Amino acid sequence: MKVACIQMDNLSLDPDQNYRTVSERIEEVAASLRPDVITLPETWNTGYIPREGLDQASDTNGERTKRLLGALSRKHAVNIVGGSVSDRRDGGIYNTTYVFDRQGECVFRYDKIHLLSRFGENVAYRAGNTFGSFLLDGVPCTAIICYDIRFPEICRAVAEPPVKMMFVSAQWPKSRSEQLTAFLKTRAMENEIFLVANSSTPPNRQGQNRGGSAIVAPRGNVLVSADSGQDVIFADLDLAEVDEEQMRRPVWADRRPELFR
């Protein structure tokens, strides 16, 4: 499966420009690389929790996001893991991932479960309380958002076989850049699946983001990664590696979940 991550900046409280940028970048990547899956970073429509104006800048019920990404996925016959957007619905704002198949259908929605209280995410957003998996070209996949990756419980829960790929959208700060790489490698190894992480770049968050998007194989080796600039990373993944690794080290068969509930 050929996967392309669009590492891009996003302007705080300028959704019109951000939607234009996403449209242009997806058009370019779909035409030039012809991937099976395109991914985006976290909260690309509003930037990272602006202190004022988040309500007005957020999408409503995912309508604008679904209209744009659904049309692009259908036009280019490509799956799109839409990073995440600030999404206003049910009287609150959620940090939400939408996923689209090649026909432009929205096949998955996930609201970020773990909200970083230190930076006020729990004040700006409502936490989600459900998770799950979805199919892209018949391949079982799952998705989480940024801070979620620090919680092995959710990563283990969503990665359970037959899942083969975990997508992570992020706005990861450069001051903890080495931690992101460590988390990605660890989650890939302990769950024996592919990790596809897409983080945003400066100038978002006053230059505090680090980029560092990466694709990691089930054995923890980084197949491709980006530096801190605007970039597109691309890899052609052999999903048979998941089955091979899980047969070589039968972690899932040998675990004893009944002891930890």
Q: What are the strands of the beta sheet with 214-216, ordered from one edge? A: 134-136, 139-145, 165-170, 194-199, 214-216, 222-225
Q: Which residues 6+ apart lie within 8 Å of 199 measured at CB?
A: 7, 41, 42, 169, 170, 171, 172, 180, 209, 210, 211, 212, 213
Residues belonging to the active site: 42, 112, 146
Quote the tokens at residue 244.
């091979």
Task: Give the pairing type, strands 106-111 and 92-100.
Answer: antiparallel
Instruction: Strands of 92-131 (E only): list them.
Output: 92-100, 106-111
